[in-house]
Amino acid sequence: MKKIDIKKFNKTMDQLVETYTDYKKVTEFERKVGASVCRATELAMSDLKLNSNQPKFRVVSAPTGGSKTSSSIALLSMLANENKGFSGAYICKTIEECDEHYRTLKKLVDNDQLAVFNSLHKTNASPSLMLEKKRELGLEIEDHFDPEDLNNSRLIITTHTRWMKEEEYQTDLGVRKYKGIHRDLIVVDEEPDLFSIYPCQPHEVGELADLLSGSLNLQNDEMKNKVLIHRFTKTLRKIQERMEKITDGAIREATYIPVDLVEEDEYEDVFKLTNQHIRMCLDKSGLNNNTSLNDRLNNILSFIQASAEGMGFHTRQGTSGFYAYKGSMSAESGTLVLDGSADLNGVYGLCKGMELVDVPTVDYRNVELTHVTPPEEFRNKMRPNHILRNAWSARPYMEWLQEYVTSVTPENAEILVVAKKDLLNYGLHKDPGDPYESPFEADWNNRHVHFCNYGRGKGSNKWKDCDHVFLLGDWHLPTSLVIARIGSLKSSHASGLNLNKLGAPRSKDPLVNIIRDSHLQTTFKQMAARISLRNIDDSGIASPAHVYSIDGDLPLLFSSKDKMFPNSPEVKIIGKDQVLEAATATQKLANLLVTSCSYYITNEELKETCGLNPNMIAKAFNSRLVKAIARAKGWERKKSIEVLGYGRGFVLVNETLFNQEGTSISF
């Protein structure tokens, strides 16, 4: 294909930002990001025409705030207006984003060639759902479309869910194709779900059986699939019984066990039932508008079919239950992925066809990172059986948090607090007389505090005026999902995985660590980037911001700081004095390396300060916590004779201080 005219693109970008209510001039940094988007688009469209047998996702990992989304919207509109034969799709994570981008594109292109489709924009959308989203998100939905409108519109906007369903069910839903021909460009905003994972409980299988059984009574004798549905319903009852039996006997089994839920004589019937059969039964039962029920029942069907292929297991750990998975998502030609944290996501490197394009980098010199250790009664307690157990357990923590936040922020500050949904559901962050109507805003001693749960608002600029963010704990990926992702990556039967080795609390399996750490890093960066640090100037320097990790993973923060926030100052450590008395020797060593201003630390000092005997030092120094801090602070373990000129054994040396001061030890 011919190269994209950058001058025309820049002009379209200028026209786009003029439509924004908070209009601002396009920065030079955004111009560079736009050029990266154009280059990735050229490659993606070329892949479709010339290299379709070597499918690739062209990934733009420019940081949040670089206008990846605006650049892509501007480019789609320009290509559609220049070439009446061009067709494209924009894939959003949320309904809110679908509506926002649809309204923007309406101002830029011929509306007759534009359609948006999701549970709110579809014809006959649920009135209760529309009211719920209006209250929750302020959405005023004006235009509605039929599924057929996607197939017949040159430009469409829809969700990740529909895009993935089309691939999973191998059905043309109007996403990838326009009038039966592959669209010229698919833009996927935010990381796609690379894994197909299906959690399920026995009663959910019973729910699907009940629906199918009930629909049989409503169908006439001409129903072609009556025999199939009747037979499959009987199979579902048997599968439910097997799942219940496994659940009842789980206490005597290993934590994770592969499961065989489908008998050989049931195998063919399991794959004859499709999502169309479920949709037909919902129609017969008058439930055709219940999108969430339809999705849940299709998840159950996918669980059963994946289990029939040997890709299912049971766990009694955490959220106990059954999990099944399919192979990881394949890359597709003609597809552009916008993911501001792709460079942190080690999983991309494990999947075929993920190609990152060159993007400009951001300088985070003005972003302060602070790790806060809360009082001992709250430390490492952000769990369902502790702080999150009930409102009574959560109240003391929220009281401490409010006091701490107000002590480190100025009056009239705009603040974002990111927490687990269960904590916010208790409503303890708002007083009864709070002046803000929204459940996600509160006044804390003349500070405007916004609240968001982990996973919500990725890519949103709703909180760009906040200059403080407090991330409460970490959003860990459940171990069962880690195992399922590994099975998906390997396309391996559950019986071929060492489930209990992978699920061990301190598993050293490299895939486990890549998946866990990638999830923590990308989540931390994405949620921190909701605030003012997303505002980037012409030179690529992020605006001042304060990022607080409350009881988060300190070793990971130390080891990945420069990758997440290049050129940011050293991480500040707050609250370490509160844990010294109860700390282990390793924790005391970590604290000493953070606070010490000495050039070297002898074995005698380690014994006195940390309680470490000489034979314990090597193990403590190589622990995950200490190793990350030592690397960040420049501490190394060297022979005493080399450093001091005398003595046996080793001392700890701060090479960073030596290099900064140009100092050498004199005797």
- 193-233 tens-digit pLDDT: 889 999 999 999 999 999 888 877 765 544 567 888 888 99
- What order of strands is seen across the sheet that includes strand 650-654? 600-601, 650-654, 635-639
| Domain 367-578 fold | Rossmann fold (3.40.50)
Q: Computed over its alpha carbons, how large is the radius of gyration of the chain?
A: 28
Q: Tokens standing for 474?
A: 């970490």
373 vs 396: CA distance, rounded Å = 16
pLDDT at 583: 62
Nearest of 46, 607, 110 to residue 334 by alpha carbon: 46
445 vs 369: CA distance, rounded Å = 23
- The angle at the Cα of 408, spanning 406 to 412, to the nearest 5 degrees, equals 55
Under-50 pLDDT residues of the chain: 221-222, 578-582, 663-667
Provide φ and ψ at 161, rounded to 5°: -60, -50
pLDDT at 131: 85
Residue with token string 């009987």: 234
Q: Write the secondary structure of 607-662 as one string of H (helix), E (strand) and C (coil).
A: HHHHCCCHHHHHHHHCCHHHHHHHHHHCEEEEEHHHHCCCCCCEEEEEHHHHHHHC
pLDDT at 224: 62
Q: Which helix (H) or strand (E) holds 452?
A: strand 448-453
Q: DSSP characters for 41-90?
A: HHHHHHHHHH-TTS--EEEE-PPTTS-HHHHHHHHHHHHHHH-TT--EEE
Residue 241: Cβ within 10 Å count: 13
- The conformational region for residue 409 under phi > 0 = left, psi -120 to 50 = alpha, else beta, is beta
Alpha carbon distance, N-terminus to C-terminus of the chain: 71
407 vs 402: CA distance, rounded Å = 9
| Orientation angle between helical segments 585-595 and 614-621, nearest 10 degrees | 70
Q: Give this prediction's pTM.
A: 0.86
pLDDT at 1: 63
pLDDT at 659: 65
Q: Is-contact 520 534, C-beta < 8 A?
A: no
pLDDT at 409: 97
**What is the SS3 assignment for 494?**
helix
From residue 410, how far is each of 404, 405, 467, 468, 540 by CA, in Å?
12, 9, 11, 10, 27
Q: What b-and-e string marks burial along 16-36, b requiring 16 or more CB atoms within 10 Å of the CB?
A: bbeeeeeeeebbebbbbbbbb
Residue with token string 């100092």: 663
CATH class assigned to 6-195+329-356: alpha beta
In angstroms, how far is CA 310 from the centroid of its own chain? 27
pLDDT at 658: 64
